[in-house]
Every structure is written in C-alpha cells, then in structure tokens.
Structure 1
C-alpha cells in the first residue's frame, strides 16, 4: 500500500521530472513560435509599406498626367459645369484602388470628390490595427490645382495599407496555424517520449521500497537505455553488497554470542574444576591444622595450603589475562606485547620467533587502539599455534607518521584465501580493525605460509610524540 502511495505521489506531483522536462520544451517551443511570429510580422510590415508606396507612386504619376491635361485644356470646366462640377477628376470611378484614398478639396477646403464612397467598409481586425500601430503612417501626397494662376482646389492622396495588411496577415496567420499545430504535435510527442523514457523510474522506486522493507533480494532489471542500465548494474551491486554485509554481520553476531557463551563456560569450568578443587584442598588442610595434635603436622598442612594458594594465584592470573592483559595498564603496550610473545615462546619452543616492537608504542594513549594491537598479535599467535604448524614467525610493528603498521608472517602450511576457515578469529580481527578506521589484509596460499598486515590510524597526540 505504501509503495502504491509513493508511486501515485510521484506521478501526480506537478513538479516531477517528466513535467519539468515537458515544461522546459514547451517554453522553448513557445519562444521559437513567438520569435517567428515577430519576424514574420516585421517582414510583412516592410512588404506592406513597399507595396503601398509603389501603388501610391504609380497613382501619383497618373494623377500628375491628368492634372497636366486639365490645366492645359479648359474645355473640361464647361463639361464639369454642365455635369457635376464636384467630379472633375471622376474619383468615384476609382473605387478599385483599395490601397489609396484619393480626395479632391475645393479652394475653401471642402471635400468635393473622393474614391472612398465606393469602398465597402469592412471592420478592421485588431491585428490590422496592431500592424498599423507598430508601422509608422505613410505621408500624404498633396497636389494643388491652379487654373489661370488661381488655385481651384487641392488633390490629396493618402496611402491606406489596411487591405494589404489584411491579406498579408491572412497568409501569416495560416502559416502560424501550421506552426501551432506542429508545436502541439511536438509537445505531445515529447511528453509521450519523456513518459516512456521515465517509466523505469517506477521500477527503481519499487526496488528501493523493497530494500526499505528489508527485502534484500530486490534487484532491478536490465534497462535498454545505457544510462539506466548503468544505474541498474550499480544498484544490483549495491544490493548484493548490502545483503552480503548484513549476512556477515548476522554471522558475526552469532559467533560473538557463541564465543561469549564459550568464554563463560570455560570460566565456570575453571572455577568449578580448578578453584573449587583447590578450595576443597585448602579447607581439608585448614581442618587438619585445627585438629593437629603436634606442630609438625600443622606445618605440613600449612605448606600444602601455601602450595595450593600459589597454584590458585597462577590460575587466577591466567583467567585475568584472558579477560584483560594486566601488563597493558601497568607497563604499557610495548612491554605487554613483549611479555605476550615471551609467554607464547615458552609454550611453543619449537617455533623460532623474531620480534621487532618499537618502544614508542608506549606513547599510544588511546586505550581502544592499544587493546586492538594487543588482541591482533594475540590472535595471530593463537592461529599459528592451532592451524599453522610453522617453524618461524616474524612480528613487526612500525609507526609512520599517523599510521601504525602490524605485520605477522609465518612459514606454515597456509590456506586458500578464497575459502577462509570458519571461526571468529579472522572475522573478529577484520571487524576490530575496520571499526577503528584501519585496513586489514590477508595473504596466504597452500604450503606458502600466511601474512597478516594491519594499518591503524593513530590519535593526533600519539603522532606528535613520535
């Protein structure tokens, strides 16, 4: 249910990736469409001006010829007086000249004749008005008519580009309509393509939700797109690493619990078998002293108690060493390690041990690091005793700047590192080292010995004392 809710929220979010990409592409297309419209209108305005200017020039040539004819032949005055004195140029017959408004005014400024009467007035669209607004008005052309030195009127030609604008805008709007259809089609196609390309995101979200629930088997399929295929490989590798790490943690936890129980069992056995037995002997000898009838008998029992006490002290010392090395607190890390190696050599006299332990180890004040170094060396020696069957062991500890290096190498039987032996030893060392931010490496091969190398970071204070 939670998975479906997250997917629904992802698909319905107004600002998800798919809508953002589509919005960006829409804005780009709209900007291109706007620029194209502005350029087309600008070019159309120039074309209209050129067309109207050309028509006006041609009309004025014809009207100039007509004026020249009238001013050289006065017969038209009598004809005009007999017919229509206001129509000497017969402008009402020029209604087909749509791009020009031609008007004749008398000497008093009254309109006498015009071709505007024949125009069919049509409502001007807002686009035509806008074109007229953004395009500067064309200048009027005026011609004064003189007869015998007396001005009888004035001929005014005014360019009227509205009809030409209407025609050009019709073509422009048709082209813009095609562009708008293309815009919508491209936008829809991009939306579909982006949605198809982003479809694998649902699979990614599903896999992430499965991991969140604890399903470490969740994996992504192989996607067709190279970018998503790379994400799929990395995700599956991450999930596999996480699964392995959690399994190792569970295994390590079980080993820790088992080791803790084994340690408790060993302590209980030692207390019962060793300490209990010695305490019983002490009790018997103490009773013998109480019941002794001679001083010699009492001395013998006292000697027996003293011997048992020394053995009990050795057992308690060994138990304390297993729990925590006492020399570490009393004498420092260097001395504690040398004592550890010396004690191990006494128990394994057939092994030749070479030790290189610098005295500067005592400068390490971090208790966790000191105990880690001690336990690592101790575990390596224990493994040599139990598994290696070696005749030589080299232990080298060096300090370089802020790093402490531990190398324990033997010439024993070795093992295949691809099949690590089961147990807590190696896993415990690795976890201890990595928990302190260090590096643990193990090199071994059959009949080629084993080499353990550990690098641990030191505290700043220890580094300064080097």
Structure 2
C-alpha cells in the first residue's frame, strides 16, 4: 500500500471514529431533549385532561349524548391530532378502544434513531385515568408519551449534519490525496536518478526541490554521486597506474636479469671452461676464485631484487628490525639527511602479515618520495601504538608542495588505498617551503591487541 492510500485510510479511520463518537453523543443529547420535551407536553396535557374529566364527572348530560353517539367521541380526542408528542386513547369498560387522537394510518414507522434511543433509555411510562360516572367505571383514559415526531425532527437535523460531515470527509480525503501526491512527485525523480546510477550513469543528479526536506536529500544525493564519480575515476586511474607499475617492475627485473645475471653467468661459464681446460693447478685456482667473486656479486643482486619484491627481514627478524634496517640502508644512501627514528618495543607484536607489510611499505614509500621530491635536511619517523591503533608519522623539512596540486604519481594514491583498504585513516599536510607531514592510523587486529 502506497503512502497516499495509507494516509487516506488513517484519515478515514480517524474521521469514522470521530463520527461514531459524535453520533453517540448526539443520540444521548437527543434522548434527554426529547424526554424533557415530551414530559413537558404530557404534564400540560394531563392538566387539561384532568380538568376535562372533572367537568364530565360533574355533569351527566354528556352520558346521554355519548350513548346516542355510541360512545365514540366522548372526549373528542380525534380533534387533538395536532398534539404530536402524546398518544391519547380512551378505552371503554370492556377494554375496547373508543377514541384516539392519532389515526392508525398516520402512525410513524420506527426508525434506527428511535430504536437506538429505546436501547439507551427506558420507555416513558404511560398515564392512566379511570373514568367513573354514577358510581361505575365507564372507561379508561390512557395517555402514552410518543416521542416519534420529536425524534424524527432530531433525525432530520442529524441527517443534515451527517451529510455535511460526509461532504467534509470526501473533501478532506481528496485534498490529502492531492497534496500528498504533489509532495511525493519528486520521488519519481529520485527513483529515476537511482536507476541511472545503478545502470552506470555517474552523471545523474537531482534538481533543487521546493520542499526543504527534499532539498536536503537532493544535495546529499548529488554530493554522494559526485563522490562516487570521483572515487570510481580515481580507482580507474589507480588501476592503470598499478598496471603500468607492474609492467615497469617486470621491465626492470628483465633488464636486471639480462644485464646483470646474464653477464655474470657468462663470466661463470668462461671461468668454468678455463678450469676444465686448465693445464696446471694455479690456473684452475684463479678461475675458481673468479667464479667465487662473481657468485657473491650475483647473490647481492638477487638479494636486492628479492628485497624489492618482498622484504626478507620482515619474516626473519620482525617488523621493528625490518623497518630499522630499511631506514639505516636509506641513511647510508642519503648521508646528508639527518633521520630520527622512534619505534616502540612492542612493534614486533603485530602478528598480522598484511598489517606488517603495510607499515613497512608506507615507510619505504615515504622515504622514496623524500629522496625524489623533498630535498630535505631532516626526517622524523615515529611509530607508536595507542588505544588499539597503530600510528605512523613521517615529517620532513623539505620544499613541500601546494595541497591544491597534489603530485599525480602512484606513491600517495597507493599509500591511501593501502591504508583505507585496512580500515585506517590517511592524512597529508604540506605547504610550499614548509615540508610535509604524513599521518597514518591503522586499527590493530584482535590477535595483535591480545599479544600486547
């Protein structure tokens, strides 16, 4: 059930409840009013009838007239037809109806309101007056309160009011249906924009709506779509950079294998052939010594290649030793730069391999960027663990750069993606001629926190 029908149903139930309560109150009030009106009429009528009965019982001439008229119009009750609230009947001594102010064809049919009032209140008692003449009872006068006419008048008023309420009810429902439909019209625009996003159209945007609530949704949606577009664009760019980086790495490895390893293998082959063809032991020793030197050089080259692919000290000696060795090696190549390294004693307790490799690579990338771009004189590296968060801060006093024009290389983007992939936070601060500061926060895994 959509929102419009749901609101109309709620309003219908509310109005129906109010209408039912109003009907009960109206019936209750009408009952009291009708009783008071009929009781007043009955009291007045009884005063008049008592006076009439007194007159008849003191003058017996009317009996002869009544006998001549077959006793059907002793009190001339048929002439009191305009007394609508009372049913006045005269019964003879045998209980037969002789006269009445209401003819049978003029009696009102019982309506729902009369039945409801009969249920809500007890019937009004009838009034009886026995008529005696000359010491004998000649009949009985019965006055029965008859609220039918009064109730019919109340019923007419209630029906008029109910008609007005029905018109109001229909008008309110129609107005609510139209207003909600008009207010919910922008939902179609939202659904269209969401469908376009689902189908890959990242340019989908929402217009500015009239309602303030929908205007906020529009702005948030457009900001989300813009962020999503930038994120996907950056991911595509990062993917291309990663592919290019992989190809460069493969090219470097192929060149090293061809230029370095291939050259040394050729030298080993020549020296081995010389040993085989040696005429004396001294010549063989010289060739064997040359092979030993070449083998050590090949081992150094293979070690450097493996270090680029995977830091071997990380598995053998732990994260703290691997980072310290990385920084010391960098210091040997950049002797003019003063490096301050602060590493906690419990850094080796980081057992998660992905986390350890990330810390190592982040420090390595920071040092590489400082070598290439910063031209710094001092570098401060601080790693610490606080509240189950491992933090890395790398600060240099180099030439810095404008934050509105970040370097387009893979280094910063790669670090950010690596950190965010582990659920961490990456921040960069820099200004021209003011150095740079990189701060990384990584959440520790449960195993690392328990070890601490």
Counterpart of 1:356? 342
Distance, in Å, in 1 between the alignment partners of 2:346 and 2:441 is: 16
Distance 1:401 1:226, change over 3 A: closer
Distance, in Å, in 2 between the alignment partners of 1:95 and 1:324 is: 118
Distance, in Å, in 2 between the alignment partners of 1:343 and 1:204 is: 57
Distance, in Å, in 2 between the alignment partners of 1:79 and 1:219 is: 103
Distance 1:315 1:82, change over 3 A: same
SS at match of 2:103: helix
1:417 is aligned, of 383, 403, 425, to: 403
The answer to whether 1:460 aligns with 2:443 is no
- Segments ≥4 residues shifted beyond 6 Å: none
8 Å CA contact 1:105, 1:112 repeated in 2:
yes
Distance 1:377 1:118, change over 3 A: closer
8 Å CA contact 1:333, 1:361 repeated in 2:
yes
Counterpart of 2:367? 381
The answer to whether 1:33 aligns with 2:4 is no
2:45 is aligned, of 59, 79, 101, to: 59
1:267 is aligned, of 250, 253, 274, to: 253
8 Å CA contact 1:90, 1:113 repeated in 2:
yes
Distance, in Å, in 1 between the alignment partners of 2:281 and 2:103 is: 161
Q: Mapping of 1:240-255 within 5 angstroms?
A: 240-255=226-241
Q: Which stretch of the first structure deviates more once superposed, 169-178 or 127-136? A: 127-136
Distance, in Å, in 2 between the alignment partners of 1:421 and 1:434 is: 19
Q: Tell me the TM-score normalized by structure 1.
A: 0.93
SS at match of 1:396: strand
Distance, in Å, in 2 between the alignment partners of 1:261 and 1:114 is: 119
Superposed displacement of residue 349, structure 1: 0.7
8 Å CA contact 1:145, 1:155 repeated in 2:
yes
The answer to whether 1:284 aligns with 2:259 is no
Counterpart of 1:236? 222
The answer to whether 1:393 aligns with 2:370 is no
8 Å CA contact 2:205, 2:222 repeated in 1:
yes
Q: Deviations over 1:293-325 (max 9, x none)?
A: 233332222222221111111100100100111
Q: Which stretch of the first structure deviates more once superposed, 228-237 or 36-45? A: 36-45
Counterpart of 2:420? 434
Superposed displacement of residue 417, structure 1: 1.8
1:77 is aligned, of 45, 57, 63, to: 63
**How many residues end up aligned between the 2 structures?**
452
Q: Which stretch of the first structure deviates more once superposed, 52-61 or 123-132? A: 123-132
User: Gaps (5+ residues) in structure 2?
Assistant: none
Superposed displacement of residue 276, structure 1: 0.5
Q: CA RMSD in A?
A: 1.7
Q: Deviations over 1:175-212 (max 9, x none)?
A: 21111111111111111111111111111110111111
Q: Which stretch of the first structure deviates more once superposed, 346-355 or 166-175? A: 166-175
Q: Deviations over 1:120-143 (max 9, x none)?
A: 245444444444444432110011
Q: Which stretch of the first structure deviates more once superposed, 37-46 or 239-248? A: 37-46
The answer to whether 1:404 aligns with 2:379 is no
Counterpart of 2:29? 43
SS at match of 2:355: helix
Distance, in Å, in 2 between the alignment partners of 1:85 and 1:314 is: 147
Q: Mapping of 1:214-225 within 5 angstroms?
A: 214-225=200-211
Counterpart of 1:197? 183
8 Å CA contact 1:41, 1:172 repeated in 2:
no
Q: Mapping of 1:68-107 within 5 angstroms?
A: 68-107=54-93
